Chain A
């Protein structure tokens, strides 16, 4: 499996080539370079996945963990050191497939979407960088390598959100994303350091005896790592950066803020899952609670947003909440007894990446057609963009959890795991699933049916996007249709043994009923040209509507905390101290020196008589000293 190193090297080479020589290349040549390297990576990933899974299980019935590459990068002492390498295990291989597929689709799609944009080469360079970083993250052999690529992912996300660097909103959004995730990454880093200190290694499989003797420090380290993961995965209350990150180009949103980077936190928790279950079982329910609350909160907010990308952003937050819940409700590593959530989470990650990328690319296609993010500029678009319409509908059905689309299968597993944890959790998640179906179909009807903005469409007739944009849509739609039938449990499960997914009829029936009811409600409310019920509800619950529209003022609370509390109560006094006491001291030194020299300077006044007086006085004093 030595060729796996090229999965990392190819995007890196492409990034260097495009980044250094991009300005001397034609935009199209640059795009083709990036796309070809990504296509090669995708082929390599598929080949790796095929080889890995077809090689079969080991004697113990588990897919072996391979390390084709591993070298010591920074040795600290005999046991502790930072390694760099490639590690392959079922979830890493699964992530390789997901990332490279979505990345390739986005590369192809961007040809159409970004056509004629200034900085086309730069855009592809950043895409390559991001792809490299994300792939490096998932194949990391140890937690520190993961952290290194984690930060690289954050940087490339920052660069891509701020791609339109002349737009103030984009700059603000990129800074917000970077600072919020950096803030969370501080917890991650501290967690890593504590973990490395007590476990004696940065690897994922430390010695059990050392962990046992570390006591409370391992749960602390894992909790801090979860904070980092929560920041990247936009868990409440660190989710505030993700909706703003939609200022970036839409394909970027599809790649980074829907399918890959935001699930890094989920991947982190899954990666550390044996440690969570083994040494910090008390933490897992909290992860579940946070995930559930995030899912609920984001779903409610998504119901009233008018910017279609924001709706999708909150839907992403909500779905990541689902994945976190699935991980959090696990109580053991046995998938038959409390460990189902692990598999469900990874499964949902896989399917969600596909249909959410599809949704974002579809939204990009719509935005490309009407040149606006607002739902008010849309409506009735099904006539103009049939292909986008169909694929978008497929994705909506998938995320709503309708059989036979992929979302149904993965969401069903999550609900089953939640009901296994506690009935309350199960019902809450079912309700959130219903909300998901509702707001997705509100979005769908708002775009393709509903009130058509006829004046705008008459002035500028929307038309179907070119082939290089619709092709990825069709491909992803096909994947979404069939992905549910993949026997996912055969590849990924919490204990590594094969697990046969079986649909629980009761849960499936309940969730299907709820979703269909929600879709029906959305159809009744939004599908027609006039929407009296919606307006009536909005005016009746105007306080709630306004609060939800403003995302329950979480951003304002953060602003209050940072600006009014931290800046004013901590930063301002510190700045004052720095400016007046520390600077003041050195200013005083400088002024004293200047004052002194100003006083001494006239002594050198070229007046020979003055010199002579000093000379004489000095001589007198010298003689006096010598005499007495």
Chain B
């Protein structure tokens, strides 16, 4: 069966990951930053699956890592959103630049 080259998957994942990184660097909103983190995690998941399929076809490590990573990211998202909601409750907004109250006070 004629398949797409592995490198293309990797390039795609890389582009996605750096999109996430750029978003993490430049977004001003905590939730938007979290979305960027999701992009990064996703790209890594793709990489795991691709490596497993193309390089170690007889084994399952990549698949399981992907599953676990999805679980961990779900957990992380839950906690992060809880924190963000708590911040919102205290400060009435979730802009990054306002999160320096601990610096001086």
Q: Is this pair of chains taken from one and the same complex?
A: yes
Q: Which residue on chain B has the smallest CB distance to residue A613?
A: B25
A209 within 8 A of B: no
Cross-chain contact A606 with B103 (CB below 8 angstroms): yes
Residues of B within 8 A of A608 (CB): 96
Residues of A within 8 A of B100 (CB): 605-607
Q: Is the interface of A mostly helix, strand, loop or mixed?
A: helix
CB-based A-B contact count at 8 angstroms? 20
A616 within 8 A of B: yes
What is the distance, in angstroms, from B84's C-beta to the closest C-beta of chain A?
Answer: 14
Residues of A within 8 A of B103 (CB): 605-606
Complex CA gap A605/B102 in Å reads 11
User: Do A606 and B97 form a contact, CB below 8 Å, given A612-B24, A616-B25?
Assistant: no
Residues of A within 8 A of B97 (CB): 607
Binary contact track B65-105/A, C-beta < 8 Å → 1, others 0: 00000000000000000000000000000001101101100
User: Do A616 and B96 form a contact, CB below 8 Å, given A606-B102, A606-B103, A609-B26?
Assistant: no
What is the distance, in angstroms, from B34's C-beta to the closest C-beta of chain A?
Answer: 12
Cross-chain contact B102 with A609 (CB below 8 angstroms): no
User: Do A616 and B21 form a contact, CB below 8 Å, given A606-B102, A609-B96?
Assistant: yes
Complex CA gap A606/B99 in Å reads 8
Complex CA gap A612/B23 in Å reads 11
Interface centre among A608, A609, A613, A616 (most CB of B within 10 A): A609
What is the distance, in angstroms, from A64's C-beta to the closest C-beta of chain B?
Answer: 87
Q: Which residue on chain B has the smallest CB distance to residue A604?
A: B103
Complex CA gap A609/B27 in Å reads 9
Q: Which residue on chain A has the smallest CB distance to residue B21?
A: A616
Q: Is the interface of B mostly helix, strand, loop or mixed?
A: helix
One of B25, B99, B102 near A612 (C-beta < 8 A)? B25
Complex CA gap A302/B96 in Å reads 91
What is the distance, in angstroms, from B36's C-beta to the closest C-beta of chain A?
Answer: 11
Q: Which residue on chain A has the smallest CB distance to residue B33?
A: A609
Q: Which residue on chain B has the smallest CB distance to residue A612?
A: B25
Residues of A within 8 A of B24 (CB): 609, 612
Q: Which residue on chain A has the smallest CB distance to residue B101?
A: A606
Residues of B within 8 A of A606 (CB): 99-100, 102-103
Residues of B within 8 A of A609 (CB): 24-26, 33, 96
Q: Which residue on chain B has the smallest CB distance to residue A610?
A: B25
Q: Which residue on chain A has the smallest CB distance to residue B24?
A: A612
What is the distance, in angstroms, from B53's C-beta to the closest C-beta of chain A?
Answer: 27
- Give B8-38 interface residues, CB cut-off 8 Å to A: 21, 24-26, 33
Complex CA gap A157/B54 in Å reads 104
What is the distance, in angstroms, from A47's C-beta to the closest C-beta of chain B?
Answer: 83
Complex CA gap A607/B24 in Å reads 12
Residues of B within 8 A of A607 (CB): 96-97, 100
Residues of A within 8 A of B33 (CB): 609
What is the distance, in angstroms, from A601's C-beta to the closest C-beta of chain B?
Answer: 11
Q: Which residue on chain A has the smallest CB distance to residue B96?
A: A609
What is the distance, in angstroms, from A439's C-beta to the closest C-beta of chain B?
Answer: 81
Residues of B within 8 A of A613 (CB): 25
Complex CA gap A606/B105 in Å reads 13
Q: Which residue on chain B has the smallest CB distance to residue A609?
A: B25
What is the distance, in angstroms, from B64's C-beta to the closest C-beta of chain A?
Answer: 28
What is the distance, in angstroms, from A532's C-beta to the closest C-beta of chain B?
Answer: 90
Complex CA gap A605/B99 in Å reads 11
What is the distance, in angstroms, from B98's C-beta to the closest C-beta of chain A?
Answer: 11
Complex CA gap A606/B21 in Å reads 19
Residues of A within 8 A of B21 (CB): 616
What is the distance, in angstroms, from B27's C-beta to the closest C-beta of chain A?
Answer: 8
What is the distance, in angstroms, from B11's C-beta to the closest C-beta of chain A?
Answer: 17
- Give A612-628 interface residues, CB cut-off 8 Å to B: 612-613, 616
Q: Which residue on chain A has the smallest CB distance to residue B97?
A: A607
Q: Which residue on chain A has the smallest CB distance to residue B18?
A: A616
Complex CA gap A608/B33 in Å reads 11
Binary contact track B33-76/A, C-beta < 8 Å → 1, others 0: 10000000000000000000000000000000000000000000
Complex CA gap A580/B16 in Å reads 61
What is the distance, in angstroms, from A182's C-beta to the closest C-beta of chain B?
Answer: 57
11 sample A-B contacts, Cβ–Cβ < 8 Å, listed by A number: A605-B100, A606-B99, A606-B100, A606-B103, A607-B96, A607-B97, A608-B96, A609-B24, A609-B25, A612-B24, A616-B21
Apart from A606-B102, A616-B21, what are 18 other A-B pairs with CB-CB below 8 Å? A605-B100, A605-B103, A606-B99, A606-B100, A606-B103, A607-B96, A607-B97, A607-B100, A608-B96, A609-B24, A609-B25, A609-B26, A609-B33, A609-B96, A612-B24, A612-B25, A613-B25, A616-B25
Task: Mark A residues whose CB is within 8 Å of B.
Answer: 605-609, 612-613, 616
